[in-house]
Amino acid sequence: MKNFTFLHNPERNTKAIEYLLQDAYNHPSIIKTPQMELQVLLKKTKMLYAQAFDYSVGSFIELLLAAQKQGKLAYSTALHPHLNEAARYISAIPLPPLSFPLDSLQKVDILIIPYIDDEIFTYNTIIQNMTKDIQNKYIILDISFALRANIITLDSLPDYADALLIDGEVFGLLKGCGVLLQSQNMFIKNDSRTIMGLGNAFIEALSSCSPTQENQTKILYEYLSQEIPNIELFAPIEKLLPNTLPIRLRGIKARRLTMALFHDNIIIANGRKCLFGLGEPSYVLESMGFLEHERRELVSLSFTPQDINELQKSAQIISLRYKQIQFLER
């Protein structure tokens, strides 16, 4: 099975998951606070406080409400679909959180942003575009994809980050195994939820992340372009995380291509919600203003470097199935 959803749907890291099972089984009577359990992870960073964060809608609602108490909040719609859903639930409260794009950060106190945008895998431009405006802002930064691709490490984190979100599922841990690390204990201060073994599981999972030896994004795009002359990109290659490709295949619903390629042992996705089993198209492209039929043409690819011949063969199969579906939908 060739997995082209590497960042959204990685193979389970069984060695890391064993820590979650062993600690709970071997020490069932030991009660640890989140701070104690995640101390091994905190030591790798400059952060001082830690707690489990499961990336559910409920957890994001809790985070947004806690952040709202500290000041005016703005968030990126390209971080996680559950963050967007949480923001919609609390939109009726006084001074609801703002979403990007914004003309100015002058009246914003707290930012929740990703280092890498979800689904299209671009380096988030908020920091670069508003460098002068982020001084004295409290920044909660999701670094999941950047850590997984080894673009950054825990001991070389951006100086502007005051808190970090890390989704363990990106590293092959179980769904719901995430963490929130803070330099100041500003949010969800009395949280008592603890996942036994989570700290050691993260350390094990992070140790398996090696620097990208070869960026094959251009190679795969060239192979696909040879087979599909009208192929397009939803973002320039130079702005993409290595070995990722958000392509646009006009005239079809990419979800049908996803199902067709599954029988060829090739896994692709139309976006994050596609992997949730939902029929909704890309939520990130929606926030960028794309129409529904355009969003349904997204094929979000992320992969590990592989043999060139195998990469070319995958491109040919993707092209073949695309043309078949395109012909049938005329």
* pLDDT tens track for 276-314: 666 788 889 988 889 999 999 999 999 999 999 999 999
The CATH code of domain 14-207 reads 3.40.640.10
Burial class (CB in 10 A: 0-12, 13-18, 19+), 188: buried
CA distance 178 to 221: 33
Listed in order, the ranges of the chain carrying CATH 3.40.640.10 are 14-207
29 pLDDT band, cuts 50/70/90, is: very low
Report the candidate in 298, 284, 297 with the shortest Cα–Cα distance to residue 117.
Answer: 284
pLDDT at 133: 67
Q: What is the mean pLDDT of residues 161-184?
A: 92
Listed in order, the ranges of the chain carrying CATH 3.90.1150.10 are 213-328
* pLDDT tens track for 84-127: 999 998 876 666 677 776 666 777 889 999 999 999 999 988 76
pLDDT at 276: 67
Beta strands 49-52 and 178-182: pairing type? antiparallel
Domain 213-328 CATH assignment equals 3.90.1150.10: yes
Q: SS3 string of the chain?
A: CEECECCCCCCCCHHHHHHHHHHHHHCCCCCCCHHHHCHHHHCCCCCCEEEECCCCHHHHHHHHHHHHCCCCEEECCCCCHHHHHHHHHCCCCCCCCEECCCCCCCCCCEEEEECECCCCCEECCHHHHCHHHCCCCEEEEECHHHHHCCCCCCCCCCCCCCEEEEEHHHHCCCCCCEEEEECCCCCCCCCCCCCCCHHHHHHHHHHCCCCCCCCCHHHHHHHHHHHCCCCEECCCHHHECCCEEEEECCCCCHHHHHHHHHCCCEECCCCHHHHCCCCCCCHHHHHCCCCHHHHCCEEEEECCCCCHHHHHHHHHHHHHHHHHHHHHCC
Global pTM reads 0.91
Task: Supply the mean pLDDT for the chain.
Answer: 86
Q: What is the mean pLDDT of residues 13-19?
A: 91
- Could you give the angle at the alpha carbon of 64 between the alpha carbons of 58 and 66, nearest 5°? 100
CB 50 within 8 A of CB 34: yes
Q: What is the mean pLDDT of residues 42-46?
A: 88
